Amino acid sequence: MTRIVFLDRATIAPQIALPRPAFAHEWVNHDHTAPDQTGARLATAKIAITNKVRITEDVLRAAPDLELVAVAATGYDCVDLDACAARGVVVCNIRGYSINTVPEHVFALLLGLRRNISAYARDVQNGRWQAAGQFCFFDHPIRDLSGAVMGIVGHGAIGTRVGALAQAFGMEVIYAARPDQNDHEAAQAGRVAWPDFCARADVISLHCPLTPATKGLLDRARFAQMTRRPIIVNTARGALIDLPALRDALAAGQVSAAGLDVACHEPPHPDDLLMELARDPRVIVTPHVAWASDEAQTALCQQMTQVLEGFMAGTPINRL
């Protein structure tokens, strides 16, 4: 019987059902798995399901029966793909399930920052409305999205959807060149070279994978090119942004605000720089939940069943 081990079931909300595959199997759930537990828990598994638990060469060495790593997410930087390939282990991920939830979260962060929603809500709680003595007050700037330039990094399904929503708000949309594109290649692909991209954008939203080429993508040099003091939104991967550089860019006025849903280490340590930024009124930090609407999690779990059944039928889907 096929043994399936879900290493971090608690990364899916408890109210979301996990449909079981049609083939005969034994299913084992672990809410959490520490690095030193992974190998032992997969020792007799044929299929591993992981959201964020790392699958390394050492783990694979301890799991001789493993044939499939099914990533319960789109991002797969938790898996050593080269080590899996060397051992003939198939790796598949989940795609397209967050096509609505992530873009909607992007705009929740963006509208909150652009219109200073949190600041005004705090002021009302603290009695500022009564103190104003009139029907409204103007302690914080409010800016429309219409007419602003939305700069998007990443032109996949989510980046494209964010662009469509931005256009519905009346924004101009530009897409950044890939790190491996020169200016001519970027122009041919309808993308904007980075210096121009940084100079034009009123908002920069990140929707690209974390790779060696994109780690620290937004760094001091790029923040220095941001002449329009954009809002930075990151719902992709924490390490895409150099956080000390972001802190300094906020202090220098190169960036006006930031909405961050991801961290380099999750959960972040209480002393992590991200937690310092979370206390800045110009920053909104949410706990990596942009992907996590009930509808999106349900779609993820349904697609996971398709991944497992496709693999067992000899026709794996979403193979990496």
Per-position pLDDT tens, the chain of length 320 = 999 999 999 999 999 999 999 999 999 999 999 999 999 999 999 999 999 999 999 999 999 999 999 999 998 999 999 999 999 999 999 999 999 999 999 999 999 999 999 999 999 999 999 999 999 999 999 999 999 999 999 999 999 999 999 999 999 999 999 988 888 888 888 999 999 999 999 999 999 988 899 999 999 999 999 999 999 999 999 999 999 999 999 999 999 999 999 999 999 999 999 999 999 999 999 999 999 999 999 999 999 999 999 999 999 999 99
Residue 188: the pLDDT is 85
**What is the pTM (predicted TM-score) of this model?**
0.90
C-alpha 9/C-alpha 74 separation (Å) is 16
C-alpha 186/C-alpha 175 separation (Å) is 9
Q: Which of 197, 155, 196, 147 is nearest to 172 (CA)?
A: 147
228 is catalytic: no
Q: Which residues contact 109 (CB under 8 A, 6 or more apart)?
A: 233, 235, 259, 261, 284, 286
Identify the active-site residue in 114, 161, 237, 247.
Answer: 237
The angle, 0 to 180 degrees and rounded to 10, between the axes of the packed helices 101-114 and 117-125 is: 60
Question: Where do the CATH 3.40.50.720 domains begin and end in the chain?
Answer: 2-96+294-312, 101-285
237 is catalytic: yes
Q: Which of 245, 244, 158, 261 is nearest to 208 (CA)?
A: 158
Identify the active-site residue in 26, 57, 185, 266.
Answer: 266
Fold designation for 101-285:
Rossmann fold (3.40.50)
Residue 180: the pLDDT is 82
The angle, 0 to 180 degrees and rounded to 10, between the axes of the packed helices 157-168 and 101-114 is: 50
Residue 47: the pLDDT is 98
266 is catalytic: yes
Q: Which of 248, 178, 245 is nearest to 216 (CA)?
A: 245
Q: Does domain 2-96+294-312 have CATH number 3.40.50.720?
A: yes
